[in-house]
Amino acid sequence: MRVHNFSAGPAALPESVINEVREELPVYRDAGASVMEISHRSPQYTAIAESARTRMRSLLGIGDDWHVLFLHGGASTQFYQVPLNFLPEGATADYVDTGAWSAKAIKEARSVGNVNLAASSKEGNYTFIPSRGDWDVTPGAAYLHFTSNNTIHGTEYHVDPQVEAPLVCDASSDFLSRPIDMAGYGLIYAGAQKNLGPAGVTVVLVHDSFLAKRKDGVPTILDYRTHAEKLFHTPTVFAVYVVEKVLAWIEANGGLTGMAALNREKGALLYNRLDRTDFYRGTARPDSRSLMNVTFRLPSEDLEAEFVREAAKAGLAGLKGHRSVGGIRASTYNAVGMDSVSALVAFMDDFEARRG
């Protein structure tokens, strides 16, 4: 039996996608083998990757001036790879610190070059996104890096930041959950394991004009140009194959506006439930609340542990908050349906009635 899956990542995928994967085992279409067993230069995989790129561009409304790369290494590799390519000596990159993952990106960038902390909500325990008006940006910055959604702290940007420098965004946890105005961006990266597919592939979108600014002398494997020019080495074939199916599922469910509407509806249901009584307390400032990770506390840690335990027994999985902050976290990525959120709200009502 499949549970209601609120895992923060790797996370729920559409059940129809999982079933398609099953149906295409042990043989993928005309390949005579599973998709795990065919060359990354085979016509079958070439078609899969090309379809994934086409769907991605279509969903985001972008053209061939955007390179769509499927890389290894996760966001943690991007933390280093971005400044290695785009933060030359003498230049400054602006970073906004809104949580643990932002802080890691900043740490790696500082090992490469000059970083200006444009804004931070660290002093406020990362419970909000600093207002754009309070940002201290650098004139002529190489780029401005931000984390569009903060999985641990349950906060999310609700508008694309407006700055002069090209935006670089770690969108790992809300990518394709809503439309993006790509005009201000130079590069967006997202580990697949939240809204896109299985762990092991990182989607990187890089605009041609931004790519042209990369530094010389970057090691081959870490140079974005290497991957923009050709299929340099073996990609994570299976993960890209699943990503292509997830993109098709997004298309079939209203595209990014469809995802945004669904996610708003789920968020409204859950946050309204949180706000209805004092038993549950949302941890993020209301204007910064994430539609991907809904974080909240109960009156005591004992009650929180009991909540997680009982929820699991009731078929609601993955609700324990990140170990660094505690509490409860319900991750409601694209593939988590209204049925799951409704089941969670019903459980919350019941739990409060019994223990509140």
d(CA 237, CA 35) in angstroms, rounded, equals 7
Neighbouring residues of 297: CB distance < 8 A, sequence distance ≥ 6? 280, 281, 283, 304, 326, 327, 328
Q: Which helix (H) or strand (E) holds 40?
A: none
Residue 215 is among the residues annotated as catalytic for this protein: no
- Choosing from 62, 117, 222, 228, the residue that interacts with its own copies (CB under 8 A) is 222
* Pick 62 or 314: Cβ nearer its own copies: 314
d(CA 51, CA 36) in angstroms, rounded, equals 18
Task: Tell me how far the alpha carbon of residue 346 is from its chain's centroid.
Answer: 27
Catalytic residue among 94, 135, 194, 249: 194
- Choosing from 57, 59, 213, 232, the residue that interacts with its own copies (CB under 8 A) is 232
DSSP string, 82-140: HHHHH--TT-EEEEEE-SHHHHHHHHHHHTTSEEEEEEE-GGGTT-SPPPGGG--PPTT
Q: Which 3 state secondary structure label does DSSP give 160?
A: coil
Closest approach, Cβ 108 to its own copies, in A, equals 6
Total number of residues that touch its own copies (CB under 8 A) = 62
Segment 66 to 105, residues that bind its own copies, using CB under 8 A = 72-77, 79-80
Residue 101 is among the residues annotated as catalytic for this protein: yes
* Pick 129 or 201: Cβ nearer its own copies: 201
Bridging pattern class, strands 149-150 and 144-147: unpaired
* Pick 211 or 336: Cβ nearer its own copies: 336
The verdict on 310 binding its own copies (CB under 8 A) reads no
Residue 230 is among the residues annotated as catalytic for this protein: no
* Pick 32 or 254: Cβ nearer its own copies: 32
The verdict on 1 binding its own copies (CB under 8 A) reads yes
Q: Note whether 281 and 274 are within 8 A (CB).
A: yes
* Pick 230 or 354: Cβ nearer its own copies: 230
The verdict on 314 binding its own copies (CB under 8 A) reads no
Segment 161 to 180, residues that bind its own copies, using CB under 8 A = none
Closest approach, Cβ 171 to its own copies, in A, equals 15
Q: Which amino acid is at 109?
A: A
- How many Å from the N-terminal Cα to the C-terminal Cα in the chain? 30
Q: Residue 209: count other Cβ atoms within 10 Å of its Cβ.
A: 10
The verdict on 198 binding its own copies (CB under 8 A) reads yes
Closest approach, Cβ 234 to its own copies, in A, equals 5
Give ∠ CA 273-279-284 in degrees, rounded to 5.
Answer: 65
Closest approach, Cβ 203 to its own copies, in A, equals 14
Closest approach, Cβ 239 to its own copies, in A, equals 6
Stretch that binds its own copies, among 2-10, 139-147, 150-158, 285-293 (CB under 8 A): 2-10
Catalytic residue among 170, 245, 266, 320: 170
The verdict on 191 binding its own copies (CB under 8 A) reads yes
From residue 164, give the alpha-carbon distance in Å to each of 20, 88, 140. Answer: 44, 18, 8
DSSP string, 317-348: E--BPPTTT-SEEEE--TTS-HHHHHHHHHHH
The verdict on 11 binding its own copies (CB under 8 A) reads yes
Segment 251 to 290, residues that bind its own copies, using CB under 8 A = none
The verdict on 248 binding its own copies (CB under 8 A) reads no
d(CA 266, CA 332) in angstroms, rounded, equals 8
Q: Which residues are catalytic?
A: 101, 170, 194
Residues that bind its own copies (CB under 8 A): 1-3, 5, 7-13, 15, 18-19, 21-22, 25-27, 32-34, 36-40, 42, 72-77, 79-80, 107-108, 111, 191, 193, 197-201, 219-222, 232-239, 242, 315, 317-318
